[in-house]
Amino acid sequence: MTHRRTPRRPARLEPYQADQLVGDVDPAVRSEAAHATAAALVQRGRGRAGDDDVVSRLVTLVESEGLETVAALWAEAPADSLPGALWRLYALREWIRRDPSQAANRYRLGAQRAEVADAVAGVVSPPGPREVAELADAVLTGVFTSDLDVALDRAAAFYRVAAVGTALDADTEDVPHGSSAERLTRRADALARTADELAVAARRSRAGTLE
């Protein structure tokens, strides 16, 4: 993927919003490009796993290429495909990077209820902004230096804990059925759905069918 000027990006992104950022590209062309670029990216990382600079550039891909560029390539790929899974990992990192305090607060709330998922995610306790940011970087680093299925499982677990925390946050609203509570509930549902999608991708990775 060639370097280009970073496009203007929105002030805040949550993973459930990312699907709205895809441009008007022929679906067949987009699908071919999505699979080719995702496979090339992972292969490059695997081939240079001992090169910290290369891995770091791959982890910070969105910061150099721009969110819209990455979204246009991967955001419409099926969730149980390699580009679809990678998109969800980069979207997670971007959400945390842009609003680490919110991500940490949601995760901290959810960790009290989703203890098994918290253990799988492996966020250092207590989970603060630095700890969740380190988790996002570790997950993407694992894509290029370790087992892909483990990275996907950790990301799925993070999304699941964040979903529980977001739902609990909705319960604290002064107006339980007001617009703010409903918005948080929709976000929680979207995060939980993404957790399920990444769990499926992890299983496909272990079976050798994630492409």
> How do the pLDDT tens digits run along the chain, 211 residues long?
444 333 333 334 455 444 444 445 577 877 888 999 999 999 999 988 789 999 999 999 999 998 888 998 899 999 999 999 999 999 999 999 999 999 999 999 999 999 999 999 999 999 999 999 999 999 999 999 999 999 999 999 999 999 999 999 887 765 555 688 889 999 999 999 999 999 999 999 999 999 9
Position 178 scores a pLDDT of: 64
Spatial distance between the Cα atoms of 183 and 40, rounded to a whole number of angstroms: 37
What's the pLDDT score for residue 29?
Answer: 77
Helix (H/G/I), strand (E/B), else coil: 122 = coil
Domain positions in the chain are 15-207
Per-residue pLDDT, 121: 98
Instruction: Give one word for 66, left, alpha or beta, with left for phi > 0 and alpha for psi -120 to 50.
Output: left
For the record, the structure tokens of 147 come out as 């087992």
The pLDDT score that the predictor gives to residue 13 is 45
Return the DSSP state at 49. Answer: T
Among candidate residues 133, 135, 113, 110, the one with its CA nearest the CA of residue 122: 135
Distance CA 9, CA 93 (A): 15
146 Cβ contact partners less than 8 Å away, ≥ 6 residues apart:
none
Q: Yes or no: say if 137 and 100 are a contact pair by the CB < 8 Å rule.
A: no
Tracing tokens 């999505």 back to the chain, one arrives at: 34
- Asked whether 177 and 169 are in contact (CB, 8 A), the reply is no
Angle between helices 67-74 and 27-47 (to 10 degrees): 110
H/E stretch holding 16: none
Interaxial angle between packed helices 27-47 and 129-145, expressed in degrees from 0 to 180 and rounded to the nearest 10: 90
CB contact at 8 A, 59 and 137: yes
pLDDT at 72: 87
Rounded CA-CA distance 80/197 in Å is 6
**pLDDT at position 68, please?**
87
